[in-house]
């Protein structure tokens, strides 16, 4: 088969691709750096010409043109599975709507026909000699989007690395309806996260509990990356990777000789991930690297796949934790910040791994925009705050004042444990609130002390 001839027969320009979208359509954009940045701009130009076009994206790299219109016209309704910084700004201005889900279930929403998908538009690497376009650093659930779409459009970007799988990491020209050659925008890169002294203290507590042969999942942000950098400087060895996000911290561990993946039961010898975000050096590292394997999210975040590897360690950020042990990692009151993502998947899966642990990390306080210092361990969440982890799922919670294990604890034990790692300035206030909530027991010899044990 002449793949090049087939390619040329399907080639159109970005304006023609945007013209394929009709009023009333549901349009799926590729995830993360597989978002169709070029076609998005041309689609936005059709505002006022078409109406009621619903768009789904996943952490758009920057601000999607279809979401940034100030007049809030009825042409586009922009929806998102997980907010990027740009998506958050659009949500604040009323131009972006969140789609609640747990990450491993993403493909099922398409295959079970929970949602409609008229047009799928995604960016990919240039076609190879076998007729395949690679999704690069954004596998996610793009195969499910493609399989359920009426029309599939590939936007070619020469800057997208070819990331080996695994599974679900490419689409063949025979499955593509139209091809658009983009202006090859540079991929979004993340600056190195700022790591504070408090982050380092929390990282040290976690790393001290880890063992050789641990399999690691790191969430996004400064705290998980602080853990990764400390691991790179530690004496730990023969570590493995099974994660949703591949970040620069893993590259640090690799350079330090810590990552071998030799002790993994599942995918031995491979660092498994479903998407990557970080530096250009990270993307270059993943390009054609046989030691790394890209998989769809219903594999990486599958609860059985996570727990199959012994000593699975899941490390994620949180915004707030309440005295019941509920974790909020996606909103602050009615302001939505990120999304559920895979935090639930890995918190549950890691706990069920032999020797595994799930860590929720947060600094004990935060300073708001008015300069007021507030406790991040709260009696109850503010109205509108979303619970990411129910109290029954939360395992370890870590602040700079220590670490507590909430599994198997009653409500009063949880309150006592969490107050012990809250900032000292807020402990008396938290005790008073716990008493009002009937989750505090006055014990004659009990004082709220720091608990840094792993028990």
Residue 330 is among the residues annotated as catalytic for this protein: no
Q: For residue 24, how many other CB atoms are within 10 A of its CB?
A: 12
Q: For residues 183 and 93, give the distance between their C-alpha atoms in angstroms, rounded to a whole number.
A: 29
Q: For residues 271 and 267, give the distance between their C-alpha atoms in angstroms, rounded to a whole number.
A: 8
Kind of pairing, strands 327-328 and 320-322? Answer: antiparallel
Q: Could you say which of 169, 244, 320, 330 is catalytic?
A: 244
**C-alpha atoms less than 13 angstroms from C-alpha of 154 in its C-beta half-sphere:** 30
CB burial readout 358-395, b (16+ within 10 A) else e: bbbbbbbbeeeeeeeeebbbbbebeeebbbbbebebbb
Q: For residues 298 and 274, give the distance between their C-alpha atoms in angstroms, rounded to a whole number.
A: 9
Q: For residues 301 and 119, give the distance between their C-alpha atoms in angstroms, rounded to a whole number.
A: 26
**Which are the contacts of 166, defined by CB distance < 8 A and separation ≥ 6?**
139, 272, 293, 294, 295, 299
What backbone torsions phi and psi does residue 411 show, to the nearest 5 degrees?
Answer: -60, -40
Q: DSSP letters of 215-260?
A: EEEE-SSHHHHHHHHHHHTSS--SBEEB-SEE-HHHHHHHHTT-B-
Q: For residues 289 and 293, give the distance between their C-alpha atoms in angstroms, rounded to a whole number.
A: 8
Query: Which of the residues are catalytic?
Result: 244
């Amino acid at each position: 088969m002449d793949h090049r001839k087939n390619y040329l027969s399907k080639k159109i320009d970005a304006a023609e691709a945007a013209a394929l979208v009709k009023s009333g359509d549901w349009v799926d954009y590729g995830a993360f750096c597989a978002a169709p940045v070029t076609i998005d701009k041309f689609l936005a130009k059709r505002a006022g010409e078409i109406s009621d076009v619903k768009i789904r994206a996943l952490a758009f790299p920057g601000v999607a043109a279809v979401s940034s219109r100030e007049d809030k016209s009825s042409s586009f309704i922009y929806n998102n599975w997980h907010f990027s910084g740009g998506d958050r700004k659009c949500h604040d201005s009323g131009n972006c709507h969140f789609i609640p889900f747990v990450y491993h279930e993403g493909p099922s929403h398409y295959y079970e026909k929970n949602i409609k998908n008229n047009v799928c538009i995604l960016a990919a690497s240039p076609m190879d000699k076998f007729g395949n376009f690679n999704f690069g650093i954004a596998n996610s659930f793009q195969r499910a989007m493609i399989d359920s779409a009426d029309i599939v459009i590939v936007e070619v970007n020469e800057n997208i690395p070819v990331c080996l799988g695994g599974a679900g990491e490419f689409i063949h020209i025979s499955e593509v309806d139209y091809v658009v050659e983009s202006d090859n925008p540079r991929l979004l890169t993340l600056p190195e996260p700022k790591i504070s002294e408090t982050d380092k203290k929390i990282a040290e507590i976690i790393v001290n509990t880890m063992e050789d042969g641990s399999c690691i999942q790191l969430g996004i942000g400064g705290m998980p990356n602080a853990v990764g950098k400390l691991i790179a400087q530690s004496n730990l060895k023969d570590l493995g990777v099974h994660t949703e996000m591949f970040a620069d911290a893993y590259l640090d561990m690799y350079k330090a000789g810590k990552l071998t993946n030799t002790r993994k039961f599942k995918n031995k010898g491979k660092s498994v991930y479903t998407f990557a975000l970080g530096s250009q050096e990270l993307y270059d590292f993943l390009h054609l690297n046989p030691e790394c394997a890209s998989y769809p999210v219903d594999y990486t975040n599958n609860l059985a796949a996570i727990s199959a590897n012994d000593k699975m360690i899941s490390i994620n950020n949180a915004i707030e934790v309440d005295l019941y042990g509920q974790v909020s990692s996606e909103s602050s009151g009615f302001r939505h910040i990120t999304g559920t993502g895979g935090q639930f998947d890995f918190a549950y899966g890691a706990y069920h791994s032999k020797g595994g642990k799930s860590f929720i990390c947060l600094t004990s306080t935060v300073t708001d925009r008015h300069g007021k210092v507030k406790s991040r361990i709260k009696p109850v969440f503010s109205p509108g705050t979303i619970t990411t982890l129910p109290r029954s799922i939360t395992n370890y919670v870590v602040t700079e004042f220590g670490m507590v294990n909430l599994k198997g604890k009653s409500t009063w034990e949880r309150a006592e444990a969490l107050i012990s790692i809250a900032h000292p300035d807020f402990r008396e206030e938290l005790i008073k609130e716990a008493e009002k909530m009937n989750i505090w027991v006055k014990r004659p010899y009990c004082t709220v002390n720091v608990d840094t044990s792993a028990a």
